Amino acid sequence: MANNLLKGKRGIIFGALNEQSIAWKVAERAHEEGAVFVLTNAPIAMRMGEINHLAEKTGSQIIPADATSVEDLDNLISQAMEILGGKLDFILHSIGMSPNVRKGKHYTENDYRFYNQTMDVSAISLHKTLATAHKLDALNEWGSVVALTYIAAQRIFPDYNDMADAKSLLESITRSFGYHYGIKKKVRVNTISQSPTVTTAGQGIKGFTEFINFSEQMSPLGNASAVACADYCISMFSDLTRYVTMQNLFHDGGFSNTGVTQQVIDKFGE
């Protein structure tokens, strides 16, 4: 259902790797809602080539950028303004990667070079993106930046490993930069804390299938899908949410406020 919610708005969407990616769904929905945008991902992710289909479908250009490189981000944001013909209204940060998770390292035995990479890719990249946009004065007043996060920032989910620490930092950067950017340019910065979702990044977490089933039964509305998450992102980019900033917004079917459900209790009687 399209309502022209983003008509006339320009943006950058980070993190569409394949059709399962949350960013992919956001790009499809943003296109339906009338936005124009540039797609970006790490140069290495371009090799898979799937993003070309999304670019074609949404009439977008692709600019490769490693989100940990300020030089790449500077080039990306400058070029995006040129291509789209003006300052930007929204940015989606949909980026996550932990070498410790990938290599199966236990949290208590994390490799610190990997740990730094996790922080840089999954959290500090948001600071770098915001700082570059701020320096280039690239975002219009009431512009909206959304980054995706997970409730492991607040509570322990053992197999989420150092990504939990990265998400805590991501949410803190959101508050801190949101304050400064709000005061200076009326730009909004928020995180959306999404249910576990079947994607490449999601499936990298150990025991993901069991976990997604557990989460489904612990959420009164069930797990939120990637498409539903995209809808929420669209509302956050729209003018209908202008006074929402510096927030961590749960999009999780009620999981975050549920102690236990009858369905889960019943399992212990079996």
Ligand X SMILES: NC(=O)c1ccc[n+]([C@@H]2O[C@H](COP(=O)([O-])OP(=O)(O)OC[C@H]3O[C@@H](n4cnc5c(N)ncnc54)[C@H](O)[C@@H]3O)[C@@H](O)[C@H]2O)c1
Please identify which residue in 35, 81, 92, 94 interacts with ligand X, judged by CB under 6 A.
94
187 binds ligand X (CB under 6 A): no
- Residue 112, Cβ density class (10 Å: 0-12 exposed, 13-18 middle, ≥19 buried): exposed
The region of 64-72, 73-81, 84-92, 259-267 touching ligand X under the rule CB under 6 A is 64-72
197 binds ligand X (CB under 6 A): yes
Nearer to ligand X, 86 or 118 (CB): 118
80 binds ligand X (CB under 6 A): no
Distance of alpha carbon 138 from alpha carbon 134, whole angstroms? 6
68 binds ligand X (CB under 6 A): yes
253 binds ligand X (CB under 6 A): no
Partners of 248 in beta bridges: 191
> In b/e form, how buried is each residue of 127-140, taking b as 16+ CB within 10 angstroms?
bbbbbbbbeeebbb
Least distance (Å) from ligand X to the CB of residue 201?
3
Q: Which of 24, 85, 83 is nearest to 56 (CA)?
A: 24
Please identify which residue in 187, 201, 218, 233 interacts with ligand X, judged by CB under 6 A.
201
150 binds ligand X (CB under 6 A): yes
232 binds ligand X (CB under 6 A): no
Nearer to ligand X, 138 or 147 (CB): 147
Give just the sign of the alpha carbon dihedral 83, 10, 192, 22: negative
Asked whether 157 and 151 are in contact (CB, 8 A), the reply is: yes
21 binds ligand X (CB under 6 A): yes
Least distance (Å) from ligand X to the CB of residue 79?
16
Nearer to ligand X, 1 or 44 (CB): 44
Distance of alpha carbon 90 from alpha carbon 142, whole angstroms? 9
Q: Residue 228: CB partners within 8 Å, gap ≥ 6? A: 251
194 binds ligand X (CB under 6 A): yes
Partners of 10 in beta bridges: 36
Q: Count the site residues for ligand X by CB under 6 A.
A: 27
Least distance (Å) from ligand X to the CB of residue 141?
27
138 binds ligand X (CB under 6 A): no
Least distance (Å) from ligand X to the CB of residue 12?
11
Partners of 147 in beta bridges: 93, 191
154 binds ligand X (CB under 6 A): no
178 binds ligand X (CB under 6 A): no
Distance of alpha carbon 149 from alpha carbon 164, whole angstroms? 9
Joined tokens for residue 125:
């990249």
Distance of alpha carbon 106 from alpha carbon 10, whole angstroms? 42
95 binds ligand X (CB under 6 A): yes
Q: Which of 144, 140, 136 is nearest to 177 (CA)?
A: 144
Nearer to ligand X, 41 or 238 (CB): 41
Contact footprint for ligand X (CB under 6 A): 14-15, 17, 21-23, 41-42, 45, 66-68, 94-97, 121, 148-150, 194, 196-197, 199-202
